[in-house]
Amino acid sequence: MVGFTACHSKGSTFAAYQTIIYDHIITNIGNAYDVRDGEFNVPYDGLYTFTVTGMAYSNTEMYFTLLKNGVYVQKMYSNLDTSDTSAFTTNLYLQAGDAIWVVNGGHDSGHLHPNNYNCFSVNNSTQHMVAFTACHSKGSTIGVHQTVLYDHVITNIGNAYDVRDGEFNVPYDGLYTFSITGMAYGNTDMYLTLFKNGVYVQKLYSNIGNADSSSLLRIFIFKLVMKFG
């Protein structure tokens, strides 16, 4: 069993491309997270789920960027114009010895909000090996009731996500957790809505007045555990 959750408590300033140190450790099962350098060191091969929350502060902006062995995986944006907490979740199949960490991926220094608003978590799945993470890369216009296609596939273990139609096809009965992040752009707003077999399940809202990725509250709403079969 491996998992950790750590938060940044001090409200420090981080230069461009500097590693964010999450100094307040809530959980560190297996001791795979190193608070000295902010890195999670993978102890064995397997599927790992990472969650990052972020909140910029003091007239700055931050691009929270997840790296695997120094290579870009995923990022989110938080700016000074809103007090929302941004968040994202990603699934990665990793090998023993891989290292994962978070940096300020912007071109300027950014200041983090103190009091543990900024956190970094991981857990390792030992159940059925089915998981995917995919992002929308093109900045497309999506019509009303049109399916959002997440074209940039980061992970697709079990090949249950079909990039051609944007659907996840359940391979077997069980509990599934879904996380969705959303950020509208270009003087528009979006209601990102999750469907199961064409029936409404849950939605989140993103508008032009908030440049952040979806808030922590909305992420928790969308982290649904659903029973299929």
- Rounded CA separation 87/216 (Å): 6
pLDDT at 149: 93
CA distance 77 to 186: 16
CATH number of the domain that 117 lies in?
Answer: 2.60.120.40
DSSP state at residue 135:
E
- Classified as helix, coil or strand, 139 is coil
Contact indicator for 130, 157 with CB cutoff of 8 Å: yes
CA-to-CA distance for 35 and 97, rounded, in angstroms?
A: 17
5-45, pLDDT tens digit by residue? 999 998 888 999 999 999 999 989 999 999 999 999 999 99
Q: What is the pLDDT of residues 69-113, one digit of tens each?
A: 999 999 888 876 655 667 888 889 999 999 999 999 888 888 787
Query: Do residues 131 and 14 lie in contact, with contact meaning Cβ atoms separated by under 8 Å?
Result: no
* Residue 47 structural domain: 3-228
Q: What total number of domains does the chain contain?
A: 1
User: Which tokens hold the place of 127?
Assistant: 């159940």
Q: What is the DSSP string of 75-88?
A: EEEE-TT--PPEEE
10 in Cβ contact with 23 (< 8 Å): yes
The string of DSSP codes covering 193-228 is: EEEETTEEEEEEEE-TT--SSPBHHHHHHH-EEEEE
What is the DSSP secondary structure assignment for residue 187, as one 8-state letter?
Answer: S
Residues 6+ apart with CB under 8 A from 215: 84, 85, 86, 87
User: Strand 167-168 to strand 174-178: parallel, antiparallel, or no bridges (unpaired)?
Assistant: unpaired
Q: What is the mean pLDDT of residues 128-147?
A: 86
Whether pTM > 0.85 for this model: the answer is no
